[in-house]
Amino acid sequence: MIDLHTHTFFSDGALSPSELVYTAKVKGYSAIAVTDHIDHSNMEFVIPNIIKVAKILTQEYDILVLAGAELTYIPPKLIDSAAKECRKLGAKIIVVHGQTTAETVPPETNLYAVKADIDILAHPGHLSNEEAKIAADRDIKIEITMRKYHNAANDLVAASALNAGAKLILNTDSHNGDNLMTKEIIKETLLRAGLKEEYFTTMQKNSMEVINKRR
């Protein structure tokens, strides 16, 4: 299993990177991205530390660990420049905290995100046709999330993305070990999103595309 959106105690997660990664390994993961919440205040601290531990854990636990970042509540017009800063710091996977219906995210975050140098638009809420089309044209993956409350609009996100030809991936947005993927949660999430259980294979291939592009 591949999961490209998770959090540790470097932001609002409960576990250290080592705890999270080992738990994922035990649950059958083959690859995981650590994408803690980032803005201009902490990117220079968090990303280098995740890079350091990601290398160690990849070697010791035989699971691919990617250092990433979730750009969170960045002023929309600054998303692209922030993403480029994170790339320079060594982040492999860039996620943007989209306009989830569960929170008040700055307007136009989705639009500026899909125009930026990012990989994944996470829990975008009411994804517009325009946003989905730009994502499809720029090969930015759209997330179907397992995260409670953020997942309320998964069906709308899936329909909009697929209609525009954008590729979907399945992420957990894990904040602790209990949030990680299981067959039961995968099945339930896809069902609520209006997707067939077999579509999980396609989503994992889409996640692998992100990894192959960035590592």
pLDDT digits (tens, 9 = 90+) for 71-105: 999 999 999 999 999 999 999 999 999 999 999 99
pLDDT, position 137: 98
Q: How many angstroms separate the CA atoms of 38 and 197, rounded? A: 33
- Mean pLDDT (the chain) is 97
Per the listing, tokens 């420049």 go with 81
pLDDT, position 215: 82
Helix (H) or strand (E) holding 162: helix 154-164
Q: Any idea what DSSP says for residue 38?
A: E
Q: Nearest CA to 43 among 13, 21, 10? A: 10
| Percent with pLDDT over 70 in the chain | 100
Enter the pTM of the model.
0.97
Q: pLDDT of 132-150, one tens digit each?
A: 999 999 999 999 999 999 9
pLDDT, position 36: 98
∠ Cα 120 125 131 (to 5°): 60
Q: pLDDT of 152-163, one tens digit each?
A: 999 999 999 999
For the chain, the residue count is 215
Residue 122 neighbours by CB under 8 Å, 6+ apart? 5, 70, 95, 96, 97, 98, 100, 143, 145, 150, 171, 173
Helix (H) or strand (E) holding 50: helix 43-61
Confidence of residue 171 (pLDDT cuts 50, 70, 90): very high
Q: What separation in angstroms does the CA of 174 have from each of 51, 62, 204? A: 19, 20, 17
Say if residue 34's pLDDT is above 90: yes
Q: pLDDT of 40-77, one tens digit each?
A: 999 999 999 999 999 999 999 999 999 999 999 999 99
Q: How many angstroms separate the CA atoms of 193 and 3, rounded? A: 18
CATH of 2-214 among 3.40.50.720, 3.20.20.140, 3.40.50.1860, 3.40.50.970 = 3.20.20.140
Q: pLDDT of 102-140, one tens digit each?
A: 999 999 999 999 999 999 999 999 999 999 999 999 999
